[in-house]
């Protein structure tokens, strides 16, 4: 079993690699090799199995084809395509978002097709593919895609190609529409959704954080721990069970931001909550108010065995157990 993780320097790529190293198996087979690739070479991880890291720019078709067709790969069995320009940057830098999120994804899919072995390809899409004039109440996850950001449009377009290439038997695609991942570890990034982690992550680490939307903002969330479980599970589902819709939403939870802060208060006390500064930002609000703010019936994902968090309190606890970085 040979595994390639594109976006391997990101927090999801690193967590996924560590989880796979700990498991030692995927699809019932021993893992013979894991390669992590990103724009800059990912950190080297300690492992009892071969793990390599290298730089690759997915906007450069030749680099992608060289990596995926490399004789050293022995033929990839599973390719994880996690590499992306995040939402805020994709909105501010249209050409960059198109080059990475759409054209870069096409480079990956086409190179995987050229292997001729129909590799499993797990792609991280986003609930940003939903938007526009949505009906009231609960959505079905196959509801019309109508993204209201460049990031969502780029992900939706890549989903269509992934599904068509799977239909043609070129690759075995599985596209996961990720809810907002909270609480993300590390430092703030350019994602418009970044505050949905930072208003918890920084206060829990004793630092101030700014919230650019009101406490009444609602959104769809999933913890990093559950996302990693989902990425591994996605690669192991029998292709026949996926049916004709290869892309679907993961079972997150819809939460009101103010209620999430109260969940943090119940676990960690008043001190971190007092470090949040509520200062609304019209530009951030414009982006995030175009995202999904109502529940989605993730029946397909649940039927396939994907698991949600029980509550946002889980997200707080997992961060405290897995990712908190307090000063020495």
Could you list the active site residues?
151
Structure tokens at 145: 């895609």
Distance CA 60, CA 3 (A): 21
Q: How far is CA 214 from CA 88, 148, 220, in A?
A: 19, 20, 16
Structure tokens at 119: 């590799």
Are 120 and 95 within 8 A, CB to CB? no
Q: Tell me whether strands 51-55 and 33-38 are parallel, antiparallel or unpaired.
A: parallel
Are 79 and 121 within 8 A, CB to CB? yes
> Quick count: other Cβ atoms within 10 Å of Cβ 238?
8
Place of tokens 């994907």: 306
CA-closest candidate to residue 79, choices 107, 46, 60, 99? 107
Strand partners of residue 209 = 276
Structure tokens at 199: 């208003």
CA-closest candidate to residue 158, choices 186, 121, 191, 190? 121
């Amino acid at each position: 079993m040979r595994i390639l993780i594109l976006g391997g320097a990101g927090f999801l790529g690193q967590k996924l690699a560590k989880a796979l190293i700990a498991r030692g198996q995927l699809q019932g087979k021993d893992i013979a090799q894991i390669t992590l690739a990103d724009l800059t070479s990912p950190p080297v991880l300690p492992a009892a199995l071969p793990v390599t890291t290298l730089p690759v720019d997915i906007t450069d078709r030749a680099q992608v084809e060289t990596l995926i067709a490399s004789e050293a790969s022995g033929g990839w069995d599973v390719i994880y395509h996690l590499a992306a320009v995040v939402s805020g940057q994709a909105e501010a830098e249209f050409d960059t978002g198109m080059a990475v999120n759409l054209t870069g994804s096409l480079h990956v899919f086409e190179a995987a097709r050229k292997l001729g072995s129909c590799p499993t390809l797990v792609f991280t899409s986003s609930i940003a593919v939903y938007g526009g004039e949505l009906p009231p109440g609960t959505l079905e996850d196959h509801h019309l895609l109508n993204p209201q950001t460049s990031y969502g449009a780029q992900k939706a377009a890549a989903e269509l190609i992934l599904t068509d290439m799977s239909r043609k038997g070129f690759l075995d695609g599985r596209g996961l529409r990720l809810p907002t991942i909270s609480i993300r570890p590390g430092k703030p990034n350019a994602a418009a959704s970044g505050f949905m982690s930072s208003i918890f992550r920084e206060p829990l680490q004793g630092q101030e954080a700014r919230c650019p939307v009101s406490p009444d903002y609602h959104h769809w969330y999933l913890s990093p721990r559950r996302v990693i479980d989902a990425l591994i599970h996605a690669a192991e589902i029998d292709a026949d069970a996926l049916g004709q819709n290869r892309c679907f939403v993961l079972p997150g939870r819809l939460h009101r931001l103010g209620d999430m802060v109260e969940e943090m208060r119940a676990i960690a006390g008043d001190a971190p909550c007092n470090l949040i500064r509520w200062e609304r930002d019209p530009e951030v609000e414009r982006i995030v108010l175009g995202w999904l703010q109502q529940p989605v019936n993730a029946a397909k994902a649940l039927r396939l065995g994907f698991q949600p968090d029980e509550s946002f309190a889980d997200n707080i606890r997992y961060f405290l157990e897995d990712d908190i970085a307090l000063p020495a």
